Amino acid sequence: MKKATKKEILEIKEILISNYSDAVTELNYNNLYELLISVMLSAQCTDKRVNIITPKLFDKYPNVEKLSQANLDDVKELIKSCSFFNNKAVNLIKMATAVMENFEGEIPLDEKSLVTLAGVGQKTAHVVMIEYAGANLMAVDTHVFRVAHRLGISSAKTAILTEVELTKKFKTDLHILHQGMVLFGRYVCKAIKPECEEKCFLKEYCKSKGSFKVG
């Protein structure tokens, strides 16, 4: 597959920013606590499903302190329709406990601290910082991975390496580009039956030539 040229990457960047300058996550949240939990739950689960789950969870456990004292079986029951709910329930309580013990009950907003929390890897930390603080970071989920490869911006085999390439090539406005690529991949450049003719405003840059198996 061909690689995008520097000129094409700049043009793709400008087009994505123009189309998604006001884009935000589709996860429903009111504060940093709710955002972090929603992002943790969204791993290998749809935002739509997470938004169905979280109201009851937040109602019963409205803050870090309450969640740190939660009953594991109760949390499992509340999030049981989420993928990998057993592990996620354990991590949610461990995360809250660590925030209480190590950060005086305040969720940290820097990557080094966030990744020390159970269930919070680099991607989760970046998504939280992008959404909550507008951090100039890139996070690569399945949608971003797919879009980056179809447009020839990255040929990396992993999400982490794709993130490195995107960060190096785009440099600035990464928070907008991340969210833009997520939404573009979710609704236009879909894994199955991408809407190339109907909706795509980047088709002239596409390097996939009709083969949509990447991502």
> Does residue 118 share a domain with residue 154?
no
Last residue within a domain, chosen from 133, 149, 177: 133
Sign of CA dihedral 77, 59, 96, 136: positive
Last residue within a domain, chosen from 133, 160, 194: 133
What average pLDDT does the segment 35-44 reach?
96
HEC readout, 86-131: HHHHHHHHHHHHHHHHHCCCCCCCCHHHHCCCCCCCHHHHHHHHHH
> Does residue 161 share a domain with residue 103?
no
> Does residue 129 share a domain with residue 38?
yes
Question: What's the pLDDT score for residue 64?
Answer: 98
**Element spanning 78, H or E:** helix 72-78
> Does residue 176 share a domain with residue 84?
no
Question: What's the pLDDT score for residue 208?
Answer: 86
What average pLDDT does the segment 107-136 reach?
96
> Does residue 167 share a domain with residue 119?
no
In a domain, 44, yes or no: yes
Is 141 an annotated catalytic residue? yes
User: Binning pLDDT at 50, 70 and 90, where does residue 28 land?
Assistant: very high
In a domain, 15, yes or no: yes
Q: How many CA atoms lie within 13 A of 46 on its CB side?
A: 6
pLDDT at 74 over 80: yes
Q: What is the residue-averaged pLDDT of the chain?
A: 94
What average pLDDT does the segment 67-79 reach?
98
Distance, first Cα to last Cα, the chain: 14
In a domain, 38, yes or no: yes
From the centroid of its chain, how far is CA 100?
Answer: 25
pLDDT, tens digit (0-9, with 9 covering 90-100), for 162-210? 999 999 999 999 999 999 999 999 999 999 999 998 899 999 999 986 5
Is 123 an annotated catalytic residue? yes
Least trusted range by pLDDT, from 61-70, 141-150, 201-210:
201-210
Question: What's the pLDDT score for residue 215?
Answer: 38
Task: Kindly name the residue from 47, 123, 168, 169 that is annotated as catalytic.
Answer: 123
Task: Please state, in angstroms and rounded to a whole number, the distance separating the CA atoms of residues 40 and 197.
Answer: 35
In a domain, 198, yes or no: yes
In a domain, 210, yes or no: no
The total number of structural domains in the chain stands at: 2
Range of the domain at 11: 6-23+138-205
Percent of the chain residues topping a pLDDT of 70:
97
pLDDT, tens digit (0-9, with 9 covering 90-100), for 189-199? 999 999 998 89
- φ, ψ for residue 175 (rounded to 5)? -65, -40
Question: What's the pLDDT score for residue 2?
Answer: 86
* CATH number of the domain where residue 125 is located: 1.10.340.30
> Does residue 48 share a domain with residue 13?
no
Question: What's the pLDDT score for residue 212?
Answer: 46
* CATH number of the domain where residue 168 is located: 1.10.1670.10
Q: Which residue has the tokens 């573009």?
A: 184
In a domain, 212, yes or no: no
> Does residue 142 share a domain with residue 127?
no
Least trusted range by pLDDT, from 131-135, 150-154, 211-215:
211-215
> Does residue 176 share a domain with residue 152?
yes
Task: Kindly name the residue from 13, 60, 88, 141 that is annotated as catalytic.
Answer: 141
In a domain, 41, yes or no: yes
In a domain, 211, yes or no: no
pLDDT at 213 over 60: no
> Does residue 68 share a domain with residue 38?
yes
